[in-house]
Chain A
Amino acid sequence: MSLDYVKFSNGFEKFMPKEYRDMVEHGPFGKKVTVSQMGNFKEVLEEHPMCAGCAMTLFIRLAMIAFPNPEDTITVGTAGCGRLAISQAAIPFVYGNYGDQNGVASGLSRGLRLRFGDKPKDVVVMAGDGGTADIGFQQVLHSWFRKERFTTIMLDNEVYGNTGGQESGMTNRGAVLKMAPLGKKFEKMDMLQMAKVAGCAYVATVVPNNPRRVESVIKKAVLIAREVGSTYIQAYTSCNIEYAIPTDKVMEDAKAVENDRYQFTEYVSEEAKQYLTERYGYKEFLAKPAAPAAAIPGKA
């Protein structure tokens, strides 16, 4: 795992497809790329079979750009739509059995630390709401309680979209789906609160209708997971098939859901704030200087 794995083997350059050559020469490896540069460099995510207009695809695309060191990152996933795109990127991908992605990531993260010592190697789990909150719930929660140092991202489309529309723990109460015709009878699981209780150092919610925020949140989560502890991002990534959202209205839906139940929230532990500030120069957590007395109304 290093920049070497994306280089051409001697003598093979001329036989490599154009997409591969572009990725090696003009991809994000070894550089700092940002959302504002999108469209000007070769992205690591290649063609994939995700549905047209899928918000999850957009989120995964943004996530790949946000990784601080893509050449030193391994993604871990499980069954679900997301893995169809995540596995098509030029970033090593480990496919866990259904629900064991956080167990796999725990071992992987520990193994990389043994093998590479202090050199950061990032492990990022990206799994759906079913893989994270239902079938993988036990392993997810235990990895958090153990403070395993990797990032867990839930691609929350609020349904089992890959298997025909069954309700998941993250489906909203009352939602009627193809395989839940009477409507869900229980509340959406509060995974954010559970992540905080389990001791995650960073917990955030995002919606992909704000690409810069997605970038910022993922960067922070990955950096914090290098040393401080578990980090968790819950992203609303609608399923336009199972929720019958016209593809050109996906961002309109994202905005509506953001206003309804997916407002941006961010919890950063004090230790993580200090780490980001001291290690990576983040200024947003510095104590704000007190306003001068003259600026306070009534105190002039």
Chain B
Amino acid sequence: MYLVADISVEICAAKSCKLCTQYCPEANTIQYSDELGKDKGFKYGSAYVAVDRCKGCAQCVWVCDNMAKNYAIKMIMIDQLPKAALTENITYGEKSTTAVLASPAAG
């Protein structure tokens, strides 16, 4: 098992700073969805992690904790994630992306 980044939609959708996306060394890994969090009544969307691309460096955690001061990202063992985004389940739109969350083990 290995660690991947997990973003709290509740915290992220309330702040929507997008810094983690800009500081992740991996392309197409921390994505942003305008829809994520809307169903919970949040004004903004949220960032999410394509866990099949995450190399577990935790740079996003440092950026979220120390630059954004949002404390929204934690490293978590991939088998402890009930649902996560995988590259094959991400759809690109005109202005944002959407992801169907599924069990990473099934992916």
Contact = CB atoms under 8 A, between A and B. Distances in A.
Given A52-B57, A250-B57, A251-B62, A58 B95 contact: no
A22 B28 CA distance: 11
Nearest to A47: B53
B79 interface: no
A54 interface: yes
Contact of A53 (B22, B47, B58, B96): B58
B27 interface: yes
8 contacts: A38-B22, A39-B47, A46-B27, A58-B23, A61-B25, A248-B57, A248-B61, A251-B23
B59 A61 contact: no
B95 to A, nearest CB: 6
Interface in B1-59: 18, 21-28, 30-32, 47, 53, 55-59
Contact of B95 (A40, A43, A45, A46): A40
B70 interface: no
Given A45-B27, A57-B25, A52 B56 contact: yes
What bracket does the count of chain A residues touching chain B fall in? 20 to 34
A36 interface: yes
Interface string A227-253: 000000000000000000001111110
B51 to A, nearest CB: 13
Contacts, number: 81
A50 interface: yes
Given A61-B27, A252-B66, A42 B59 contact: no
A46 B66 contact: no
Contacts of B84: none
For chain B, give the interface size range.
Answer: 20 to 34
Interface in B51-96: 53, 55-59, 61-63, 66-67, 87-88, 92-93, 95-96
Contacts of A44: 27
A54 B57 CA distance: 9
Most chain A beta-carbon neighbours within 10 Å: one of B18, B28, B88, B92: B28
Q: Which are the 10 A-B pairs with shortest beta-carbon distances?
A: A53-B57, A39-B32, A26-B92, A39-B21, A52-B55, A248-B58, A247-B57, A45-B27, A57-B25, A43-B27
Given A26-B92, A36-B18, A58 B61 contact: no
A25 interface: yes
Contacts of B18: 36, 38-39
